[in-house]
Structure 1
Amino acid sequence: MYAITLERFEGPLDLLLKLIEREELAITDVSLASVTEQYLQYIDKTTDLRPEELADFLVIAARLLLLKSRVLLPQFFVDDEEEEAAGDLTSQLALYRLYVTAGAKMYHRYRSSQTCFARERPPRASVATFSPPQELTTDELQRVFAAVVASLETFVRPAPELISRTISLQERIRVLRTLIASAHNLDFREILADAKTKTDVIVSFLALLELVKQRHVLVTQDTDTILITSYEATNVTQA
């Protein structure tokens, strides 16, 4: 039988954790069941526990006995509350170990006088400077600069006739609203009358779809004619 040395523990979980660590076991139901006898031995030999402390130790002892019974006799009947009480002991002890580990690290830092940390100075942004050698003359610098410029590809500005102006969608929407408001009815071909490129046609079509979506215009088709009517004119006609 394992002989446990009587020590003063901070509570039943502290005792359980020490027993597990002495046996170098992982925190599992099986390992807790294996140290149940040692836990009960400690309670039996300890005589200086206050009644409220002893009650805490006895509660954990009951859960350990239930857990050991479940490990040894899997078919042993327990209700849902007992099953939950036995299963939670493993997770409760694992959480307690996290607190103990964190507390030990904090104590170590305190004892090592590393209680404060200075903020590191952010790196200074380096400023590009030009410090030519003293023997460099202005004539030599001019020749170097001219050689660099000559090595660059010549930038050719396109001719004015090659630069096409692309209208924006919002601009085209404003133009169409003005046209439809003044004429009330328009053929789709009239909208494309001033289109000079495929881009203009696409933008005009997208602008028309946006006006339909915003319920500013109504689009109807009669054979090969697409008629665009403003909603204001439609409401007046219906009235």
Structure 2
Amino acid sequence: MSYKVQLPVFEGPLDLLLHLIDKNEVDIYDIPIALITQQYLEYLSAAEELDLELTSEFLIMASTLLSIKARMLLPKSTMQNEEEFGGDPREELVEKLLEYKIFKETASVFKEMEYSQAKIFMRHIDEAKLLKDYPPPNPVGDVTLQHLIFAFHKVLARIEKKKEVLTLPREQVTIRSKISYILLQVKNKPLGLPFRELFTEAASKEEVIVTFLALLELIRLGRIHIKQPQLFEEILIFSSQIEGGHTSAHAIS
């Protein structure tokens, strides 16, 4: 009996890199480039042996990883001279990975919402009255994936206009800390916290991205819900907790 080795299929090189980072439980801001490059090339080699078709993007990323690895292996004095002009060789890769992670997790949250709604079945009664009296839980209301990503892009554009120097901060902001921050911000905002205000204190693009990831996690957990009163108006963020600690009808169980 022969056994066929199966490899997981990835949507693209960034998807594969995120998998390797999660698998090795390493900090995305401090990627062990030699290890990740080795495992990335091993995957490409295995895929070639199994005659799996890979797009040119995978090969381009392999070249990028090898280039970064070579720069990381430069003598310390040479690295210091390079960093004066270009910063950490991994910086651009980290930025791309964080942005890809944003879109992947955003799509996942909305897919989960869609799946939850698909499991709701109604009997043949007055559905209009039923939905009015008992609206199904939906933490994103009428806000679509496109609306949320568009609002996020506007925040990123404002950060870019500030022409801030993008550096990897020494003290990395975590999703856990941003979850606490968001819950605190919406706690005393019964009329809703404007989406853009959530990012006013962000000091870098990375902090904006981590804040957005924390927002997605809170939506997924049903701790907050979002609304957009009218098309093109500001998206508002609400706490799903009411007095007494009970969850409102908008939260997901």
Name the TM-score class by shorter chain. 0.3 to 0.5
Say which one has the larger Rg: 1
Higher relative contact order (CA 8 A, sep 6+): 2
